């Protein structure tokens, strides 16, 4: 058996990150985009915790708490924006949100 | 002291007459007008006689002036003026209604009231058939009031009140026949020319009072004679010259004499009183009164003497060829006034005053006599239309002969003594220039004799040139006119004897009487030896009686020659006679007949009536030229500067609009727009695209760092 090193955690985190990024870039549904953003943040959390385990102190974990709080706030705000936008445009298709077009 | 204390009544008598005429005159009978107006002047004369007698007791020969201040008008006693006079006493600008009687004003008082009274009596006869009788006498009384105020004043301001008053009355009386255009114009001319003199007088009086701290003659005399001022003091010289300008205007000297010949438009008694005996002597009086100031200003004295002499000869030359009997006498008056100023100018103040005194009598006599002639000829004044009147109006003829002998300076008539005294004093003054002035006076004496006897011959001796109707009506004047003539004739004979000169064995009472007025400062100066001129009563030690006799003889010779020339030319002047000057020297005759074109000269220079084309001549023309210069050239320059400013502004606007704004300000904006046009094509408004670009950038960074 291969011992589970920090590296494995980083890979997983990276994979999650990339998935999140692809989700943000390609999905049409705004809610899915928000979920993908959460995914990215969680990947970052995982990364931080892995490094915390590696260094043997709690710095990473403390920082991941901050990130979590930030994610929560951001989700709230993002949903608020989404609802405001839906009231305006009646759609949650990202491609149709182009009011700032030239 | 009864009369002296009430000296203010003397001017008030005629003032009362004038007031009566003003309020009630229109309704009064001629006899009532006579009773009021002539009687008040007679009272004034009587009062004046008594006053002068009382004054001689008061003064006891010292000549101290009697001053009575009735009312102080301008007072300065409360310390507002904080400057002191030269001798340390505080200045006082008191101008009061005050009266001063000293030998000078007593002489004037006597002859003004005396001659005035005689002329008033004469006027009752002369003006008997004229309209406006009460108006005439009202104005005459007003004149007497003003003249007496002038004479008796104790300060320059009250003197000026009288001065203006006589000028006003002169205007009113010259323009008495105001329906006549020539009379009203002449009145205007008299007043306006007089005014020019008045400006000088006021400036002079104010300068003196500012410099010396008082208007009063007593204060000024004390201060000036105290020795604080140097001879030739510039302020005093200026003041003296300005006062003399005033005297020129009032006493008809060059160049302000032009009003007097035209003043003959007034009735003849007016000419006699105002323009012969009294008003025109006001200038002489004022200068004599200011003798203390003049003596300290040799430049002013020389000016007075020169102008006096020039006026004398100038006016005499014009009088040689005039045809109006009154014009001849007018120019004669100007000429004799010139003599008076000549006397004052060389320091012979007493001689000048003496000539005023004698001249008053014989000139009034001549004018009244000419009035009698005119009356006899029913209004004819041109001598070319007279002749052979000697036997028809004998009283007039004889009195006028006496007057002519007096004015020509024939011994022993009055004019001889006074004129000779003046000529002698001029000759004896230090400095060769005075000999020239003597010669001018001498030539004038010859001319005087000539034109006066010309007048006599043409009027009384020569064959008749009268028109037939006039000849029929020739009659002697009534007693009211002839009696004054006789009285004046007696005075013309005897007045000269009052100052029989020392050289002929007399004691010169007149000059002695006046000595205190004039000789005080002479004593100051002879002591210090600084006087450059003779003061009255003092003579240079070099003179001898012989020189005086020689000059007397020369004067008589001149008079005789003049008489002889006139006799030769005019004794037998029948109809169509010719003037000898016109025959021998026509251009000279033309110049003299036209009064040296002085009036035309003044017209060209001062009235601004004459134009050449569109350009106005004279002083007003200069004004118009200056105004043109200002409007066209100076304002043109200002306008051009304005045009340049506007042009620069236009340029600046163009620059601002096109270069600064268009290129400078809009340029970068347009540039930004031009660049941003393509740039904004990248803005699709799609968030995911933005996110993709972000990720791409991030990857780029990452690759860059890994590869590094």
Task: Supply the pLDDT for residue B540.
Answer: 46
Task: Supply the pLDDT for residue A81.
Answer: 92
Identify which of A94, A98, A102 has the shortest CB distance to residue B680.
A102
Interface test with A, best of B675, B680, B686 (most A CBs within 10 A): B686
Do A9 and A32 touch, CB atoms closer than 8 A? no
C-alpha B439/C-alpha B590 separation (Å) is 25
Task: Supply the pLDDT for residue B528.
Answer: 40
Look at phi and psi of residue A39 and say left if phi exceeds 0, alpha if psi is from -120 to 50, else beta: alpha
Mean pLDDT over B162-181 rounds to 92
User: For chain A, where are the alpha helices, taking DSSP H only?
Assistant: 6-26, 30-55, 59-89
Residue B535 scores a pLDDT above 50: no
**To the nearest 10°, the Cα dihedral for B85, B87, B89, B92?**
-30
Looking at per-residue confidence, does B426 or B275 come out higher?
Answer: B426
Task: Supply the pLDDT for residue B384.
Answer: 83
Asked if the Cβ–Cβ distance from B688 to A25 is below 8 Å, we say: yes
C-alpha B580/C-alpha B560 separation (Å) is 18
- Residues with Cβ within 8 Å of residue B418, at least 6 apart in sequence: B351, B354, B355, B357, B358, B359, B496, B499
Task: Supply the pLDDT for residue B505.
Answer: 67
The SS3 assignment for B612 reads: strand
Task: Supply the pLDDT for residue B61.
Answer: 65
Looking at per-residue confidence, does A52 or B589 come out higher?
Answer: A52
Average pLDDT taken over every residue of chain B: 84
pLDDT band at B679 (very low <50, low <70, confident <90, very high): confident
Looking at per-residue confidence, does B62 or B522 come out higher?
Answer: B62
Task: Supply the pLDDT for residue B658.
Answer: 86
Task: Supply the pLDDT for residue B79.
Answer: 43
Mean pLDDT over B394-406 rounds to 91
Task: Supply the pLDDT for residue A61.
Answer: 95
pLDDT band at A52 (very low <50, low <70, confident <90, very high): very high
Task: Supply the pLDDT for residue B285.
Answer: 92
A2 touches chain B (CB under 8 A): no
Domain limits of chain A? 28-91
Q: Which H/E stretch holds residue A93?
A: none
At which residue do the structure tokens 């494995």 appear?
A8
| CA proximity to B25, closest of B139, B104, B161, B181 | B139
For residue B463, give both structure tokens.
Answer: 């064959």
The proportion of chain B whose per-residue pLDDT surpasses 70, expressed as a percent, equals 92
Task: Supply the pLDDT for residue B366.
Answer: 93
**Topology of the domain comprising A28-91:** Helix Hairpins (1.10.287)
User: Which residues does chain A have within 8 Å of residue B691's beta carbon, measured at their own beta carbons?
Assistant: 24-25
B685 touches chain A (CB under 8 A): yes
Do B517 and B357 touch, CB atoms closer than 8 A? no
Task: Supply the pLDDT for residue B680.
Answer: 80
C-alpha B388/C-alpha B107 separation (Å) is 38
> How far is A101 from chain B, CA to nearest CA, in Å?
4
pLDDT band at B538 (very low <50, low <70, confident <90, very high): very low
Q: Could you give phi then psi for residue B98, rounded to 5 degrees? A: -130, 155
At which residue do the structure tokens 């709230």 appear?
A76
Identify which of B683, B685, B688 has the shortest CB distance to residue A24.
B688
Window from A7-21, B91-105, B119-133, B359-373 with minimum mean pLDDT: B91-105
C-alpha B125/C-alpha B482 separation (Å) is 9
> How far is B703 from chain A, CA to nearest CA, in Å?
16
Going by the DSSP 8-state scheme, the letter that residue B538 receives in this structure is -
C-alpha B599/C-alpha B118 separation (Å) is 34
| CA proximity to B289, closest of B115, B200, B156 | B156
Task: Supply the pLDDT for residue A39.
Answer: 96
The proportion of chain B whose per-residue pLDDT surpasses 90, expressed as a percent, equals 33
Average pLDDT taken over every residue of chain A: 92
Each residue of B436-471: pLDDT tens digit? Answer: 888 999 999 999 999 999 999 888 888 888 877 778
How many other C-beta atoms can be found within 10 angstroms of the C-beta atom of residue B264?
24
For residue B21, give both structure tokens.
Answer: 């005429």
User: B691: exposed, middle or buried (C-beta count within 10 Å: 0-12, 13-18, 19+)?
Assistant: middle
Beta bridge partners, B99, equal B68, B153
For residue B281, give both structure tokens.
Answer: 């002597």
Mean pLDDT over B276-304 rounds to 88
B678 touches chain A (CB under 8 A): no
> How far is B667 from chain A, CA to nearest CA, in Å?
23
For residue B431, give both structure tokens.
Answer: 């400095």
Each residue of B293-342: pLDDT tens digit? Answer: 888 888 899 899 999 999 999 999 999 888 899 999 999 999 999 999 99
């Amino acid at each position: 058996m291969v011992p589970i090193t920090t590296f494995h955690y980083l890979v997983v985190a990276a994979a999650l990150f990339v998935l999140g990024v692809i989700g943000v870039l390609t999905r049409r549904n705004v809610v899915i985009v928000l979920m993908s953003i959460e995914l990215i943040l969680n990947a970052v959390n995982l990364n931080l915790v892995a490094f915390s385990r590696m260094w043997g102190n709690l710095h990473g974990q403390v920082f991941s708490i901050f990130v979590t709080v930030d994610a929560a706030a951001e989700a709230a705000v993002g949903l608020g924006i989404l609802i405001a936008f839906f009231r305006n445009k009646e759609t949650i298709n990202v491609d149709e949100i182009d009011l700032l077009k030239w | 002291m009864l009369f002296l204390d009430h000296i203010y009544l003397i001017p008030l008598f005629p003032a009362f007459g004038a007031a009566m005429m003003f309020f009630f005159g229109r309704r009064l009978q001629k006899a009532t007008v006579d009773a009021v107006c002539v009687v008040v002047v007679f009272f004034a004369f009587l009062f004046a006689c008594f006053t002068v007698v009382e004054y001689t007791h008061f003064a006891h020969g010292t000549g101290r002036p009697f001053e009575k201040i009735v009312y102080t008008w301008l007072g300065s006693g409360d310390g507002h003026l904080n400057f002191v006079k030269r001798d340390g006493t505080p200045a006082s600008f008191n101008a009061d209604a005050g009266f001063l009687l000293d030998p000078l004003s007593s002489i004037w008082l006597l002859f003004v009231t005396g001659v005035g009274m005689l002329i008033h009596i004469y006027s009752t006869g002369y003006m008997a058939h004229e309209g406006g009788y009460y108006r005439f006498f009202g104005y005459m009384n007003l004149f007497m009031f003003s003249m007496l105020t002038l004479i008796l004043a104790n300060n320059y301001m009250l003197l000026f009140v009288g001065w203006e008053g006589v000028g006003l009355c002169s205007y009113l009386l010259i323009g008495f026949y105001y329906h006549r255009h020539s009379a009203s114009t002449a009145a205007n001319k008299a007043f306006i020319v007089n005014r020019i003199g008045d400006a000088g007088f006021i400036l002079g009086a104010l300068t003196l009072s500012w410099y010396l701290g008082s208007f009063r003659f007593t204060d000024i005399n004390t201060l000036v004679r105290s020795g604080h001022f140097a001879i030739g003091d510039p302020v005093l010289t200026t003041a003296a010259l300005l006062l003399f300008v005033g005297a020129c205007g009032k006493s008809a000297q060059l160049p302000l004499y032009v009003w007097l010949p035209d003043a003959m438009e007034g009735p003849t008694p007016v000419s006699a009183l105002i323009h012969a005996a009294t008003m025109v002597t006001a200038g002489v009086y004022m200068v004599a009164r200011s003798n203390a100031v003049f003596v300290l200003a040799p430049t002013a004295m020389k000016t007075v003497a020169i102008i006096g002499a020039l006026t004398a000869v100038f006016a005499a030359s014009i009088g040689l060829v005039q045809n109006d009997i009154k014009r001849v006498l007018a120019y004669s008056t100007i000429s004799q006034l010139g003599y008076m100023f000549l006397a004052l100018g060389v320091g012979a103040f007493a001689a000048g005053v003496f000539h005023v005194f004698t001249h008053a009598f014989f000139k009034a006599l001549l004018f009244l006599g000419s009035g009698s002639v005119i009356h006899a000829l029913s209004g004819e004044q041109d001598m070319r239309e007279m002749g052979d009147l000697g036997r028809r109006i004998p009283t007039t003829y004889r009195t006028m002969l006496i007057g002519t002998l007096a004015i020509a300076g024939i011994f022993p008539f009055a004019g001889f003594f006074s004129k000779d005294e003046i000529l002698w004093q001029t000759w004896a003054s230090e400095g060769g220039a005075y000999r020239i002035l003597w010669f001018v006076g001498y030539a004038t004496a010859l001319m005087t004799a000539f034109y006066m006897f010309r007048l006599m011959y043409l009027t009384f001796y020569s064959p008749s040139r009268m028109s037939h109707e006039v000849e029929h009506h020739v009659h002697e004047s009534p007693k009211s006119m002839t009696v004054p003539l006789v009285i004046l004739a007696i005075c013309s004979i005897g007045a000269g004897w009052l100052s029989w000169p020392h050289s002929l064995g007399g004691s010169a009472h007149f000059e002695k009487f006046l000595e205190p007025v004039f000789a005080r400062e002479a004593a100051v100066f002879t002591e210090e030896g600084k006087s450059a001129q003779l003061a009255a009563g003092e003579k240079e030690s070099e003179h001898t009686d012989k020189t005086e006799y020689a000059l007397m003889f020369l004067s008589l010779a001149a008079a005789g020659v003049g008489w002889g020339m006139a006799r030769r030319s005019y004794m037998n002047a029948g109809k169509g006679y010719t003037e000898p000057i016109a025959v021998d020297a026509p251009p000279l005759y033309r110049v003299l007949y036209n009064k040296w074109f002085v009036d035309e000269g003044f017209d060209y220079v001062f009235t601004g009536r004459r134009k050449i084309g569109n350009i106005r001549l004279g002083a007003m023309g200069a004004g118009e030229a200056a105004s043109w210069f200002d409007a066209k050239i100076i304002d043109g320059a200002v306008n051009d500067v304005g045009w340049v400013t506007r042009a620069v502004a236009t340029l600046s606007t163009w620059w601002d609009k096109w270069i600064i704004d268009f290129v400078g300000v809009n340029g970068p904006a347009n540039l930004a727009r031009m660049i941003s046009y393509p740039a904004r094509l990248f803005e699709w408004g799609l968030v995911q695209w933005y996110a993709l670009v972000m990720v791409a950038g991030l990857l780029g960074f990452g690759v860059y760092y890994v590869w590094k």
